[in-house]
Amino acid sequence: MASTPKPQGFDVSKGVYTLLTPDEQSYMIAQDKEGVPVALYFTSEDKADKYRHDAGKPEFKVLFLEGKEGVEELTEELVENGIKEAFLDHTRRTRQPVVLDLEGWLKKKP
């Protein structure tokens, strides 16, 4: 999948929001156009909450992972489970979602 440029407003040091299943055992995973599983990262609680409701999953929880360490921990867990990309601030109307290369980012981190 071709990625689009990373938006200038995304700063991993500020943390990331994602969606957690009601049992808190895993994260909500979406699919790209080819059906490949992708994670969901959001830059604000409002965006995550809106996606959760738009997707018909009000029982899912918005989880904030604080700072760069929180983003790294989440990303490592996702990559270990075979998730290689994440949609950033995805909405149901997004035609070309911003795609983050999780695996690539982990390899480049200091």
**CATH number reported for the structural domain that contains residue 63 in this entry:** 3.40.1350.90
Could you tell me if residue 9 is inside a domain?
no
Query: Which range has the worst mean pLDDT, 15-29, 41-55, 62-76, 83-97?
Result: 83-97
Average pLDDT over residues 31-43: 93
- Average pLDDT in the 82-90 region? 93
- Give the structural domain span for 99: 16-108
Mean pLDDT of 54-67: 94
21, 60 Cβ separation under 8 angstroms: yes
How many structural domains comprise the chain?
1
How many residues make up the chain in this entry? 110
pLDDT of residue 105: 86
> What is the per-residue pLDDT for 27?
95
pLDDT for the residue numbered 1: 43
Please state, as a whole number, how many other Cβ atoms lie within 10 Å of the Cβ of residue 10: 14
Reference 87, options 27, 23, 15, 29; nearest CA is 29
**In this structure, is residue 11 part of a structural domain?**
no
Q: Is residue 32 part of a domain?
A: yes
Residue pair 41/63 in contact by the 8 Å Cβ criterion: no
Mean predicted confidence (pLDDT) in 51-57? 94
Residue 59 in domain? yes
Give the pLDDT of residue 110: 62
Tokens of 50: 């809106």
pTM of this prediction?
0.85
Predicted pLDDT of residue 9: 47
Residue 82 lies in a domain: yes
Backbone phi and psi for residue 105, each to the nearest 5 degrees, phi listed first: -65, -40
